Structure 1
Amino acid sequence: MARFFKYKSVADLAAENARLGIDLRFSDDFSPLAAPATVGPQTVGNRWCIHPMEGCDGEPDGSPGELTFRRYQRFGGGGAKVVWGEACAVTDDGRANPRQLWLMDKNKPAYARLVAECRAAHRAENGDDADLLFGLQLTHSGRYSYRRPVIAALDPLLDPRTVADKSTGATVGSDYPLVTDDELKRFVDDYARTAKLAAEVGFDFVDVKQCHRYLLNELLGARSRPGLYGGDYENRTRLAREIFQAIRAAAPGLILATRLNGYDGIPFHKEPDGAGAPDAHTGAAVNGWGLSAADPLVPDLAEPIRWVGDMQRLGVRLVNIALGNPYAQPHFGRPFEYPPPDGYESPEHPLVGVDRHFRIAAAIQAAYPDLPIVGTGYSYLQEFLPHAGAANVRDGRVTFVGVGRGALAQPDWVRQLRAHGRLDRTRVCRTFSYCTALMRAKNHPFGQYPTGCPPFDKEAYGAVWKEVRGE
């Protein structure tokens, strides 16, 4: 098992960057990260963003659980000025797991409490919260809906991995019914209604989720789908356009955002030696977003860049760039040192994956320099992520630096930088994949364990990890 992260200094990383022929940049001047930025009508106090990190710890009725409240208190107090709330389903049949959040009229008070406690924690630790932006990610999980897959387009590579019947283990076949155009149209009202509720409980923005091969992302690449929502570019982006327009009408004061895949990629599998390798494919992928027509292993950003421009004209004011599919090629989305238990060893140097994230976000930011773009891929850099973030903001490659797994391990990293000029090395995420392993462990009365960082948050997750391991 290759282990890559042996770097003791920025100079070590810079030397590896040169050896690999990639374009990672670093700076010891963190002042760009402390500069304010404008998102829609709001001034945001710094350039740090906490990514939407799903805790799988909600209640069965879709309300936040006590661990959910704890997580957002910690995120609120940590000092980042953008807190990007996690996936919240717009329908029950669109939930990815039985503990995924689901905002409805009857549980509005719980979400109002979540917003209030996050903001109170921010004020207690950081002073003013007027420059804090707190949003909620709206999702339909599509083929990854836990009750039953909702398939927008058949995919010869993903369908054999998608369980259609849990009782038999049967996977999606060529006769599996696609979600109809009429069913898709009804989702527009579900998104608009949930967005209106999010505004009423105090969220500043909603994210219409278009990443990680959930429903709207799958539609973006649905070239083989017939009808109004598949085939050409206009049809593939139609449902998201209708959703943005409906949200603007239902909640006109709410900031519109999206987390968008810049590149889907194709699935990888585990070889006998443990290494990851791409699934066998012939020619261009039939379906997929941001893929080269000649080789689906190569990004083609023409459509993602076009779509970002169209979304800006629809009123979207904040875009968060993601990559890949966590169920099919996790090394694209989350470059790692240690794979999850059901995963493969990284088929590339993880710094190459970090560079892919940075280059794709930079290309989109360059196309729309006045649109705030949030970048991804920083946690693998461990204690050196601020140096990369500072250089990318300085060079105009992104507006905000997003941190996901690293925020579970050390949610107060922004305050650490402010107080000491460096991260607390004893609590830096080492990309051990404990959080992913918890998410994948299903032997729980609710069908889903809560997820967090067992090594660096033993108070909440140490006992959970022991239970998963059967200790």
Structure 2
Amino acid sequence: MSQFFKYKSTADLEAENARLGTDLRFHDDLAPLFRPVTIAGRTLGNRWCVHPMEGCDGERDGAPGELTFRRYVRFGAGGAKLIWGEACAVTQESRATPRQLTLNESTKSAFARIVTDCRAAHRAANGDDSDLLFGLQLTHSGRYSYPRPVIATHDPILDPRTVANRATGVTVTRDDPLISDDELKRLVDDYVTAARLAVEVGFDFIDVKQCHRYLLNELLGARNRPGPYGGSYENRTRLAREIIQAVRAAVPAHVVIAVRVNVFDGIPFHTAADRAGAPDAHALPLANGWGMSDTDPFAVDLTEPLRWIGEMRQLGVTLLNVTMGNPYAQPHYGRPFEYPPLDGYESPEHPLVGVDRHFRATEAIQKAFPDLAVVGTGYSYLQEFLPRAAAANVRDGRVTIVGVGRGTLAQPDWVRQLLDHGKLDRKRVCRTFSYCTALMRSKQHPMGQFPTGCPPFDKDAYGDIWKEAQQLNVKPAKPAGE
């Protein structure tokens, strides 16, 4: 039983929109979503994107596993023309989990298989893959690196929440050293090496990931870091700038340079006594942060993100994916949900307010850069009404391309459903009950990480995995009536 989402029609949603004062729009004609668009001379066949979602199903050496291949075959067959490959660590030390993908000489043949299998599935189901763009997201996990946290700047709110020693549970303190300037400089070569390999195995675009408080995103807001990579705006954007320049110079001109970037960090939330999310105690002005005022951490401030996006365009970035928040600290910002996982808090706001925050920020960016291919986020919460909101936003120039994350795990063929039937299969629509997140946070697996997917709607692959996770006492709260 849903606690928020009780809407049976777009009229119901429009009434809620008026009550909440949000700016959610809906359009019954889905034609805008199936018009091609040109990105850096490449033709994209429709306006749908599979968001980068980690399956946590790689091998110990960073090679894709069988569930990884299965996911990308399903994504390829699904009909979306933009497939944004998940986070791939640029070094073994920068992996967020012991099963995160890592592209290097020993794993590149497996990555080549992902590209080949995905494209073959797309051709078999959709007839043509010449207008399909398939890319890879390059990342350094920073303070969330699995082997040990790599701290770019000391954050008085995040440090006490960052585990420094997994065996003892000891958290980061101000005595823990920061990653040095020289170490940061050396990362440029790691990104270039991974980018070259990505092109070699057949990816069409490279994403220099700058979101969700991983390393490059943390540096964007590192106002209290000393030296050339912190403090001023120019310093905070320095490493990302150096990486983008180096990658652009190292790969062929036809390869698209992309970025998934936070436009609003926000501050962490915790679970209050009533299980509702509550903001952590914080002092103003804030020591760090990106896309928000240091005196009002709950308001989106696009001043610096807009400046940086404009500069990234000059550096050769032609594809931008807009996101926000920190999945470890305030997941309701990044992906509005109906029910949290067991270790999470109830949403402190109506999830439609979170959807609206995404749509408004993305619109501001798209209107500032009308010729930039902008991918929007926050759609899965709208469930079966997702396509109509997407059509309205594309129609109104609020976004170029619509990204779908959790909804793709539940129904990877959603684009084919729309082409064949004009609507989604309601029996397989993601209800944002956070099963996928619960699996992602389950660590009792022999490899240190359970693979993640959609147990309710993909029982063949994840039914037994879910049962195993339940047996190990990592079961999330079950929504009432389900």
TM range (shorter): over 0.9
8 Å contact 1:284–1:296 — kept in the other structure? no
Amino acid corresponding to residue 257 of structure 1 in structure 2 = A
How far apart are 1:425 and its partner, in Å? 0.2
Say if 2:19 is the partner of 1:34.
Answer: no
Q: TM (normalized to structure 2)?
A: 0.97
Matched with 1:376 is 377
Deviations 1:338-394 (A, max 9, x none): 001100000000000000000011111111000000000000000000000000000
Cα distance in structure 2, aligned partners of 1:239 and 1:313: 16
Cα distance in structure 1, aligned partners of 2:167 and 2:356: 42
Relative to structure 1, the CA distance from residue 405 to residue 2 in structure 2 (aligned partners, 3 Å threshold; closer, same or farther) is closer
Matched with 2:403 is 402
Amino acid corresponding to residue 109 of structure 1 in structure 2 = S
Matched with 2:164 is 164
Deviations 1:404-457 (A, max 9, x none): 000000000000000000000000000010000000010011100000000000
Matched with 1:196 is 196
8 Å contact 1:358–1:376 — kept in the other structure? yes
How far apart are 1:71 and its partner, in Å? 0.1
Q: TM (normalized to structure 1)?
A: 0.99
8 Å contact 1:340–1:434 — kept in the other structure? yes
Amino acid corresponding to residue 262 of structure 1 in structure 2 = V
Amino acid corresponding to residue 372 of structure 1 in structure 2 = A
How far apart are 1:294 and its partner, in Å? 2.1
Paired residues for 1:50-449 under 5 Å: 50-253=50-253, 254-449=255-450
Amino acid corresponding to residue 27 of structure 1 in structure 2 = H
Matched with 2:11 is 11
Cα distance in structure 2, aligned partners of 1:177 and 1:129: 48
SS at match of 1:373: strand
Matched with 1:458 is 459
8 Å contact 1:79–1:125 — kept in the other structure? yes
How far apart are 1:260 and its partner, in Å? 0.2
Let me know the Cα RMSD of the aligned residues: 0.9
Amino acid corresponding to residue 459 of structure 2 in structure 1 = K
Cα distance in structure 1, aligned partners of 2:304 and 2:93: 30
Amino acid corresponding to residue 29 of structure 2 in structure 1 = D
SS at match of 1:259: strand
Amino acid corresponding to residue 408 of structure 1 in structure 2 = L
How far apart are 1:67 and its partner, in Å? 0.2
Amino acid corresponding to residue 108 of structure 1 in structure 2 = K
Amino acid corresponding to residue 91 of structure 2 in structure 1 = T
8 Å contact 2:48–2:81 — kept in the other structure? yes
Cα distance in structure 2, aligned partners of 1:245 and 1:401: 27
Cα distance in structure 2, aligned partners of 1:313 and 1:434: 41
SS at match of 1:105: coil
SS at match of 1:336: coil
Cα distance in structure 2, aligned partners of 1:90 and 1:193: 8
8 Å contact 1:59–1:99 — kept in the other structure? yes
Specify every segment of 5 or more residues in structure 1 that has no aligned partner in the other structure, as ranges: none
8 Å contact 2:36–2:45 — kept in the other structure? yes
Cα distance in structure 2, aligned partners of 1:180 and 1:68: 34
Cα distance in structure 1, aligned partners of 2:157 and 2:54: 26
How far apart are 1:248 and its partner, in Å? 1.4
Amino acid corresponding to residue 364 of structure 1 in structure 2 = I
After TM superposition, the runs of 4+ consecutive aligned structure 1 residues lying more than 2 A away are none
Amino acid corresponding to residue 339 of structure 2 in structure 1 = Y
Specify every segment of 5 or more residues in structure 2 that has no aligned partner in the other structure, as ranges: 473-482
Deviations 1:87-130 (A, max 9, x none): 00000000000100000012211111100000000000001100
Deviations 1:38-94 (A, max 9, x none): 111200000000000100000111111000000000000000000000000000000
8 Å contact 2:288–2:294 — kept in the other structure? no
Amino acid corresponding to residue 346 of structure 1 in structure 2 = S
8 Å contact 2:287–2:294 — kept in the other structure? no
SS at match of 2:107: helix
Amino acid corresponding to residue 72 of structure 1 in structure 2 = Y
Cα distance in structure 2, aligned partners of 1:39 and 1:448: 36
SS at match of 1:143: helix
How far apart are 1:334 and its partner, in Å? 0.7
Cα distance in structure 1, aligned partners of 2:76 and 2:167: 41
How far apart are 1:284 and its partner, in Å? 2.5
Cα distance in structure 1, aligned partners of 2:286 and 2:129: 46
Deviations 1:280-337 (A, max 9, x none): 1121221010011321111110000000000000000100001100000000001000
Cα distance in structure 1, aligned partners of 2:167 and 2:204: 41
SS at match of 1:243: helix
SS at match of 2:467: helix
How far apart are 1:2 and its partner, in Å? 8.0
SS at match of 1:317: strand
Cα distance in structure 2, aligned partners of 1:428 and 1:113: 29
Q: Which deviates the most, 28-37 or 288-297?
A: 288-297
SS at match of 2:106: helix
How far apart are 1:252 and its partner, in Å? 2.6
Matched with 2:479 is none
Cα distance in structure 2, aligned partners of 1:366 and 1:227: 35
Matched with 2:477 is none
